[in-house]
Amino acid sequence: MKNILIITFLFVLFQGCGQKKEQAPQELISFSIDQNFGDYWYQGKAELTSYELEQVRYGEKRKGEAVLIFVTEDFSKSKQVKLDNPSANSDDAEKVMKLNFTKKFNTGIYPYSIMTSVFAPVYPKSDLHARKLTTSVQEWCGHVFMQLNNETNQYNLLSRSYFESEGDLEMSLDKIWLEDELWTLIRLDPAQIPEGEIKLLPSTQYLRLKHKDLKAYTAMIKVLKNEHLNELKIQIPALERKVSIFYQNKFPYDIESWEESYPEGGEIMTTSAKLKKRIMLDYWKKNSVQDSTFRKELSLGY
């Protein structure tokens, strides 16, 4: 009897060891950045990339432009803002990769200006999630703004809108993956992109433009690896929405283009963006009239 109990215990033990435990995203600790990361991202410049944008809005495709701005900076862990003097606040400082994702396009007579900012940890010890996320949309009817702050076990979400049905909102969300943070994860360590069926907060730009509920949706994520460009595929069945992000399969994992399809105007329509120009530049120092030549270098017209 004693031998039977021992055998049973060992069987259960080895069965448990053989099964892959599903970890919550914040528990992953195998994060690894490329050995050339510092040479590329710590040279005191930002990566600026312009794209030719074809944005779906009100059942029609609009010509415009998008810009992805990736840069590293020192971030306050307690205040979740950029530190003015990192050396004086070393205990509170955390290195992040910031993405400023902008879109500009016109709808008839009036323009749209959209911006999302993602602040993602470069050296996470346990929590891979973005520390902070903000999105704003401005157009002639008014503007909307939303912000998520990463707390220990949840996100604190704040939303402001000129629409009566949305108004002012403050709430908590469970710690889930954010679609917007996958863009920075591509640039940091694409091996950490979650695959399979997960709970996901869709693109905050999409949620605001389409006035969808701010909640978790079931999504299917898959990475297709190719000789030059990998494809990150996101499918959200409840929204009939599909996203594909195409990026280089080697460091620094440049994002070359993307597509986003969803119901619009009674049919499935696709927003797309294709690479125009990419430069490294300390743009925050380039604010004189003569520095406008850099806009020409990026083929920016708006």
Domain positions in the chain: 30-297
199, 218 contact by CB (below 8 A) = yes
- Measured CA to CA, the distance from residue 170 to residue 148 in angstroms comes to 10
64, 31 contact by CB (below 8 A) = no
The pLDDT value recorded for residue 18 is 38
The per-residue pLDDT for range 266-287, each reduced to its tens digit, is 999 999 999 999 999 999 999 9
What separation, in Å, do the N-terminal and C-terminal C-alpha atoms of the chain show? 80
pLDDT exceeds cutoff 50 at 166:
yes
Question: Whole-prediction pTM value?
Answer: 0.89
The three-class DSSP label of residue 105 is strand
- Measured CA to CA, the distance from residue 291 to residue 15 in angstroms comes to 64
Ordered DSSP codes for 156-175: EEEEEESSTTT-EEEEEEES
The pLDDT value recorded for residue 165 is 85
The pLDDT value recorded for residue 19 is 36
Q: Kindly give the residue spans of alpha helices, DSSP state H, lying in the chain.
A: 2-18, 37-41, 179-188, 204-210, 293-297
**Locus of tokens 């403050």:** 170
Q: By C-alpha distance, which of 119, 141, 138 is closest to 130?
A: 119
Q: How many CB atoms lie within 10 A of CB 283?
A: 16
Return mean pLDDT, the chain: 90
- Measured CA to CA, the distance from residue 103 to residue 95 in angstroms comes to 26
Phi, psi (degrees; rounded to nearest 5) at 188: -90, -60
pLDDT, mean of residues 220-249 = 97
Q: What is the helix (H) or strand (E) element at residue 236, kind and residue range?
A: strand 229-236
Q: Which residue has the higher pLDDT, 3 or 254?
A: 254
Least confident among 18-32, 92-106, 155-169, 183-197: 18-32
157, 172 contact by CB (below 8 A) = yes
The pLDDT value recorded for residue 29 is 57
The per-residue pLDDT for range 4-56, each reduced to its tens digit, is 433 343 333 333 333 333 344 444 457 889 999 999 999 999 999 999 999 99
Q: Which residue has the higher pLDDT, 188 or 301?
A: 188
230, 205 contact by CB (below 8 A) = no
